[in-house]
Structure 1
Amino acid sequence: MRYLLTLLAAFATLAAQAGPPQLLLDVARFRNLDRVVKGAEVEIYVTVPTQPLTYRQRAPKSFQSSAVVTLDVLKADGTSAYHEVVTLKPPVLTDTTIAIKNPQSFLKRILLPDGKYTLRGTVKDQYRSAGGETTVEKPLVLEAPAGPFLSDVILLSRPAAKSGGDDNFARGGYRLARAASGTYGRGADNVFFYTELNNAPQGQPLRVHYHLTTPDGSAADADASLTPQSGRPTTIVGQIPLGPLPDGPFTLFIEVYGGPGNKKLLTGHRAIGQRASAEFAPGNAAVPR
């Protein structure tokens, strides 16, 4: 009987131990409107899939995992520009064998001067001693061209919704639900996006062209008109159907045209996403606890 209880306790703390914990880092750079300090607002969207985490039994038919995420932004000389530790406590489960466990996400928005940095994120499974930590690093360059330019393009899991709120999920008058790592899973039939046009010429409508393409040559295109705002970045929101595009990576190009007949390319930017129609993908972020 004691052996059986020990075995059950061991199973209660097991998760999908096929690999270490996972950490997804999505970074978007926007210009800081402060004209004194040249720099950017950096949005760091962190997603921790809970499927690989260890679930510990807290009570009869009550299991929970726990992960600690450490975020660091390092300057070019290795000194710290930003440091924060966030603890994630996914919802309690009554059965750890369920096929879908929702990921946990959170968003941080920080101000940094122009320059070169390294973003480092580390996730640690609180209930696993061996192989329970993963670190991800990304280069981060902050600078602004002199002429018109687009900010980074954010891929969204749902249309940008008008919002008067003032929190990390609101930008440019919209509430944004980010698609983690640009992944569009089962049931997704559109790519939704948000970006901002800076230093746009005033007094004339512009043409915005969207081009969605995959490595095998499949493509979709759309056009829209845009009237720049005066003195502030101009928001660009929209969607383009995935249609018959195959599973796998895709690239969304956004180009802004002006001049006579709106035929002169003023600026452009791209975002890379992934279509995985057989997989589950989260709808939007959960607030960390």
Structure 2
Amino acid sequence: MLLLARLLPVGVALCLSVTQAPTHQLQLDVARFRNEDVAVKGGVVELYATVAGKHLTYQKRGPKMYQAGATVTLEVVRPDGTAVYQESVTLKPPVLRDTTAAIKNPVSFQKRLTLPEGRYTLRGQLKDQYRAGFTDIVEQPLVVEVSSPKPALSDVVLLLKPASRSSVETNNFMRSGLSLTRAAGGLYARGQDKLFFYSELYAALPGQAYGLRYRLRAGKAPKDAATGQGTVQGAEGRPTVLTGELDLSKVPAGKFTLTVEVRNAKNQLLATQTATVHRNPDEYAPAGAILPR
């Protein structure tokens, strides 16, 4: 059985640095999951690219109508330089009547890949369609490995809305029958006073009850900024879905770490995972990924 974890020595470890320099206008997020096809050695990797709309060049499209456009090229490259995946998409933010408007929403694109074991480089390239010569390139290491089948958590996916059942045709925004609206870059901005998350527990015993604990803490702060807990039953023949939420209304601006823990009936820690959360009540953020044009 193939399992996934970021920091634990178990599962399919897909190690990735997610720290972005603040000058980049292209943000890359990654979520890693176990491949449910046990005959395939590797993992499922979800790429999420976000372009900062406020930095794009807007061009007049009609009377009091202005729109920007960005071409994003995503690549996953082997050490020898060959690409295992490459795709270019065009992203366009909503049309504006006034280019001085404060709200210039970011736009995002999401792609789901199945990658075999190995070391890769994830590369994203952004080109402003209406600003000649401008290019922004972001690169991050990506490692896919397989190890022992012990209980492990997938990456924690930060959401803007609760994971919900959807009657829409299956697509890249769904996992385990749930529709996921990601918080790009882990950012919770103006009007977003609830943090939601999604994760998957692998190798859980079917029918067994597990305790779920999660907490939000800033750096070396002595206390948690927010906490939550719940219980979940191990699923049979599929990953055990974990979801939760935290109230951010009293959480100040800053950088936080969300820690998710799974414990057994004896309160023993079985698996843990973390995600970086950015709280900025004064900034605007995207509502979620859109379909490319």
TM-score, length basis structure 1: 0.88
Asked if 1:28 is matched to 2:34, the reply is: no
Residue 181 (structure 1) aligns with: 185
Corresponding letter in the other structure for 2:251? L
CA contact 1:67–1:89 (8 Å) conserved in 2: yes
Corresponding letter in the other structure for 2:242? I
Q: Structure 2: where are the runs of 5+ without partners?
A: 1-21
Structure 1 residue 156: Cα displacement: 0.3
SS of structure 2 residue aligned to 1:158 = coil
Residue 141 (structure 2) aligns with: 139
CA contact 1:105–1:286 (8 Å) conserved in 2: yes
Asked if 1:235 is matched to 2:237, the reply is: no
Give the Cα–Cα distance (whole angstroms) in 2 for the partners of residues 179 and 270 of structure 1: 15
Asked if 1:151 is matched to 2:162, the reply is: no
SS of structure 2 residue aligned to 1:262 = coil
State which of 227, 249, 270 in structure 2 corresponds to 1:221: 227
Corresponding letter in the other structure for 2:95? V
CA contact 1:53–1:66 (8 Å) conserved in 2: yes
56-65 or 29-38, which deviates more: 56-65
Residue 50 (structure 1) aligns with: 53
Q: Structure 1: where are the runs of 5+ without partners?
A: 1-18
CA contact 1:218–1:245 (8 Å) conserved in 2: no
Percent of matched pairs sharing the same residue? 49
Structure 1 residue 270: Cα displacement: 0.5
Residue 198 (structure 1) aligns with: 202
Residue 99 (structure 2) aligns with: 96
Residue 127 (structure 2) aligns with: 124
SS of structure 2 residue aligned to 1:211 = strand
CA contact 1:150–1:268 (8 Å) conserved in 2: yes
CA change 1:203–1:174 in 2 (3 A) is closer
Structure 1 residue 249: Cα displacement: 0.5
Asked if 1:81 is matched to 2:84, the reply is: yes
CA change 1:253–1:103 in 2 (3 A) is same
Give the Cα–Cα distance (whole angstroms) in 2 for the partners of residues 33 and 126 of structure 1: 39
Q: Encode CA deviations 1:138-197: one digit per residue, 9 max, x unaligned.
A: 111222442110001000011111124411111112101000100000122221000000
Structure 1 residue 136: Cα displacement: 0.7
CA change 1:93–1:246 in 2 (3 A) is closer
SS of structure 2 residue aligned to 1:51 = helix
Q: Encode CA deviations 1:64-91: one digit per residue, 9 max, x unaligned.
A: 2121100000113322110001012333
CA change 1:151–1:124 in 2 (3 A) is same
How many residues get paired? 268
TM-score, length basis structure 2: 0.86
CA change 1:60–1:203 in 2 (3 A) is closer
Residue 214 (structure 2) aligns with: 210
Structure 1 residue 202: Cα displacement: 3.2
- Higher-Rg structure is 1
Structure 1 residue 221: Cα displacement: 2.2
CA change 1:68–1:238 in 2 (3 A) is same
State which of 61, 64, 67 in structure 2 corresponds to 1:61: 64
Corresponding letter in the other structure for 1:96? T
Structure 1 residue 200: Cα displacement: 1.3
